[in-house]
Structure 1
C-alpha cells in the first residue's frame, strides 16, 4: 500500500485540498481526502505502507495527450523510424497504429518527465482515411501491455495534407471536393457492410477492408478528424451528421471563428499544436486563444502538442499559454487531464483522482502550466516511473 501525503491535491473532479492524502492499493486509488492540521495520519496495521511526502507540492492526475504521433514518427530516425503515413493509397482504414508504435522512442521518456502518463497515438493526415488510433500508457517496453483502448478512434483528414500528397502523384484527391467525396463513398460502403453484418452476415462474406469500420458505426469509437480551416471543420461536421457518426475535431485552428456552430454541432475539439509555426496556409489563423474561446462557448476541449510537430513535453506549457491568452486556469488544467480522458472515452480509468481509478499521478513543485514548474514524481498504476533526483522516496514506515 502506498500513501501520498501532505501535498495540494487537485482532483480534476471538483475537489481541491490544500493538504490531502491519496491511498493506493494494487495500482488503483483506494481512497483520498483532506488532512487536518496537527492530526495524526492513520497508517495501516503494521506501519508497512510506503509513504511519499508531497508537502509543498501540487498533486494531480497524470497529464493526457489527446492526439500525437510519438513512437510512430520517431525522433532522429528519419525514414527508418517514420511509419506515420501510408502515402500510396488515400483510403486505408484497416491500418492499425498498434502495429507501428515503438515504445523505445525517446519521446516516451520525455512524456514521463513532464508528468504525462497516457496518450492517444495514431497515423498522420496524408490520407483521407488513415487508420485507427490507440490510447496507451506512456511507460513500458511492450505496446500490448501499455494499451488502454485499441482501436480508440478512426483517423480521417481534410484540407491541405491529402491534397498536397496526392495531387503531387497525379491522382485524387486534388481538391477539397474530392476529399469529401472519397470519404462519403467509403462511409457509404462501410455503412452497407455494417447493416449486412447486423443482419447476420455469413462468415465467408466478411471483408477485412470494412471490418475496421464496425466500432465506428456501432458507436464504440469516433472518427478523429484532422481539420484546421473553418470550412474544413464544417465539412467534417456535415459528413458526420449525414452518417450519424461521432467525431472529434482535431487541431481546429480556426475553431474560434465558428465557435457557435461547433457548440451547436455538439462535437468536442482537440486544439493545437499552437506552439508550432504557421507553416501552411490553413493554419494562418491559429492562436492560443482558440481553445479558451471554444471552452467558454461550451465546447468540450482538450489541448494537443501533435508531437512531434511540437514536442510532447510542452503539453503543460501549451496549457499555460492558453491561460495567458484568456482561458480559465482550472479549465486549462482540465484540458490536459479529465477533458481528454472524456473525449478519448477512457475517463473510467484516467483523467482525475477518484477512488477506483488507475493510480496515474503526477507530482509537481508548482502548477505544471508555469514554465519554471518541475515534475517531482510520475506514477503509472501506482508505480513510480520517474522521480526527480531532489525528490525523496522513502521505502516503508512512518518516517516522512
Structure 2
C-alpha cells in the first residue's frame, strides 16, 4: 500500500471517529462572524465540546483540558454550505460509471433518493473541505449533467451531507424534490415549456388524488395513473406542503408561472437558477419563495437566459428575497461557492448578505438550520478559521472543523503535488526499495 493511500486512510479514520472521540477545543483570539443573533464578535472565543458549540463570545471560560487554537485575530465563520451539487455522489465528470446522482431508468423519477448513492469516502470531499465547505446540498441531476436523463420530469430527492467522511455523514435525507422546468426538460418532455408545466401540474394533482384514495389504489378501483406507486408515494409530502419542491427555472415568464402554480396548489417552493429573476425581484420577494442563484451566470447561453446579468443576486437580495448562492454543479468545484459569493459582493450584494447566502441561509432553507449555518451554542461545530477575507480568492482555510473534529486541510491532489515536487534525484524509485 502506498504512503499516500495510508495517509488518506488515516485522515478518513480520524474523521470517522468524530462522533465518539470529539475533543474539547477552544478557538481563541478570533473575529467571529456568527451569522446568528450575536452578529460579529470582534475578538472572542469559541468553545467546542462533544462535537457541538458550547459557547461563543468575548468572555468564555476555557476548561483546563481544552486544546487551544489561536486564530491570531483572523476571521472565523460557520462552515460553508455548497448548494445544488453532485459532491459525494459523483467522482469523474463525463464518466457515467462513477456517477450516482441520476437514475438511468424512468421507473424511478420522484422516488429516486440521491442519499442512497452518497459515497462518504469520495476523493472530492477533502477538496471541498480545503475550500471551507463542511456541508452540501446534494441534488439529483437537474439538467445537462450526464447521459441518464430518460423520460423523466422529477430528478428525485435531494439530501444534506456533511464533509466528515464518516458513515453517519448524511445530515438529512429527502430534503427537497427536484424538478427541471428548463429547456433540457422541454427537449424530452413534449417539446414545449407549456407541456412541461402541464405535466408537472398533472403529476402533482395525480399524487394528491392517490393520497386521498390509497385504499382504492390497492383495490384497483381508480383511474389509471401515469406514475408508479413509488413515485406517487414520494410526491405525497410535496403535495401536502411538507417537502419543498426545488424547481430549476430560468426565464421570467416561467418563473411567474411556477409561482402561480405553487400558490394554486399550496406548494412549498424553492426556485433554482432564476437567471432572469432580477426582472421580477419584487414579485419573488413578495412570494416568500427562496431562490438559489449562481452569481456568475451572466451569459445568454440559451433563449431562457437572454437577460442574465451579474447583478441578479444583489437585486434579488435588495428586494427582500431569500437568496442562496451556489457554485458549479460538478462536485470537483464545490469549493468555488465562496468565489461566487465574492463576485456577488463585487456586483452590489452586501458582504454580510453574501456570506449568509453560503452559510446560515442555505442551512435554514434546506431544513438544517438547527444543526449548522451559524455560530451559537448547541449547533454542530462546523467552523472555519480563515487567513483573510473568506470571500477573497487568495484567502485560505487555515483550520476546518466538521462536527467538532478538526479535518486535514489537504487533498490528494495537494499530496501528490508535494510528493512529486520534492523528489530527491539521488534516491531510487520506491518500487526498487
State TM-score, norm by structure 1: 0.86
Checking the alignment, whether the CA contact within 8 Å between 2:248 and 2:271 is kept in structure 1 is yes
CA offset at residue 204 of structure 1?
Answer: 7.9
Specify whether residues 201 and 88 from structure 1 end up closer, same or farther in structure 2 by C-alpha distance, changes over 3 A only.
Answer: closer
Tell me whether 1:107 sits opposite 2:113 in the alignment: no
Moved more, 81-90 or 19-28: 81-90
SS in 2 for 1:24: strand
Specify whether residues 362 and 369 from structure 1 end up closer, same or farther in structure 2 by C-alpha distance, changes over 3 A only.
Answer: same
SS in 2 for 1:281: coil
- CA distance in 2: counterparts of 1:297 and 1:132, whole angstroms: 30
Match of 2:101 in 1: 84
Match of 1:7 in 2: 30
Moved more, 306-315 or 353-362: 306-315
Match of 1:209 in 2: 231
- CA distance in 2: counterparts of 1:350 and 1:25, whole angstroms: 15
Specify whether residues 307 and 262 from structure 1 end up closer, same or farther in structure 2 by C-alpha distance, changes over 3 A only.
Answer: same
Q: How many corresponding residue pairs?
A: 372
Tell me whether 1:98 sits opposite 2:121 in the alignment: no
- CA distance in 1: counterparts of 2:120 and 2:401, whole angstroms: 17
Specify whether residues 257 and 275 from structure 1 end up closer, same or farther in structure 2 by C-alpha distance, changes over 3 A only.
Answer: closer
- CA distance in 2: counterparts of 1:312 and 1:248, whole angstroms: 20
- CA distance in 1: counterparts of 2:366 and 2:387, whole angstroms: 28
Specify whether residues 76 and 278 from structure 1 end up closer, same or farther in structure 2 by C-alpha distance, changes over 3 A only.
Answer: same
- CA distance in 2: counterparts of 1:281 and 1:19, whole angstroms: 50
Structure 1, residues 107-166: CA drift from partner, whole Å, max 9, x if none? 322210111110111211244211100011122153xx11111110000111211123x1
Specify whether residues 124 and 202 from structure 1 end up closer, same or farther in structure 2 by C-alpha distance, changes over 3 A only.
Answer: closer
Specify whether residues 201 and 42 from structure 1 end up closer, same or farther in structure 2 by C-alpha distance, changes over 3 A only.
Answer: farther
CA offset at residue 102 of structure 1?
Answer: 2.7
Q: RMSD across aligned C-alpha pairs, in angstroms?
A: 2.5
- CA distance in 1: counterparts of 2:240 and 2:162, whole angstroms: 26
Structure 1, residues 341-365: CA drift from partner, whole Å, max 9, x if none? 1111111111100101111111101
Structure 1, residues 17-61: CA drift from partner, whole Å, max 9, x if none? 1210011111111111014xxxxx7432xx211111111311111
Gapped regions of structure 1 (runs ≥ 5) = 36-40, 167-171, 390-400
Match of 2:423 in 1: none
Match of 1:131 in 2: 156
- CA distance in 1: counterparts of 2:275 and 2:83, whole angstroms: 15
- CA distance in 2: counterparts of 1:48 and 1:182, whole angstroms: 60
- CA distance in 1: counterparts of 2:345 and 2:34, whole angstroms: 19
Checking the alignment, whether the CA contact within 8 Å between 2:127 and 2:410 is kept in structure 1 is no
Structure 1, residues 241-295: CA drift from partner, whole Å, max 9, x if none? 1210101001111111111111122201011162686543323433331111101
CA offset at residue 301 of structure 1?
Answer: 0.5
SS in 2 for 1:351: coil
CA offset at residue 327 of structure 1?
Answer: 0.5
Match of 2:176 in 1: 153
- CA distance in 1: counterparts of 2:392 and 2:70, whole angstroms: 22
Tell me whether 1:190 sits opposite 2:213 in the alignment: no
Match of 1:18 in 2: 42
Checking the alignment, whether the CA contact within 8 Å between 2:90 and 2:331 is kept in structure 1 is no
Q: From 256, 266, 290, give the equivalent of 2:278.
A: 256
- CA distance in 2: counterparts of 1:160 and 1:115, whole angstroms: 33
SS in 2 for 1:236: helix
- CA distance in 2: counterparts of 1:309 and 1:387, whole angstroms: 17
- CA distance in 1: counterparts of 2:409 and 2:335, whole angstroms: 15
- CA distance in 2: counterparts of 1:52 and 1:204, whole angstroms: 64
Checking the alignment, whether the CA contact within 8 Å between 2:28 and 2:69 is kept in structure 1 is yes
- CA distance in 1: counterparts of 2:229 and 2:114, whole angstroms: 20
Specify whether residues 277 and 383 from structure 1 end up closer, same or farther in structure 2 by C-alpha distance, changes over 3 A only.
Answer: farther
Tell me whether 1:362 sits opposite 2:384 in the alignment: yes
Specify whether residues 202 and 48 from structure 1 end up closer, same or farther in structure 2 by C-alpha distance, changes over 3 A only.
Answer: farther
CA offset at residue 388 of structure 1?
Answer: 6.8
Specify whether residues 276 and 119 from structure 1 end up closer, same or farther in structure 2 by C-alpha distance, changes over 3 A only.
Answer: farther
Checking the alignment, whether the CA contact within 8 Å between 2:32 and 2:76 is kept in structure 1 is yes
- CA distance in 1: counterparts of 2:336 and 2:107, whole angstroms: 31
SS in 2 for 1:6: strand
Moved more, 6-15 or 295-304: 6-15
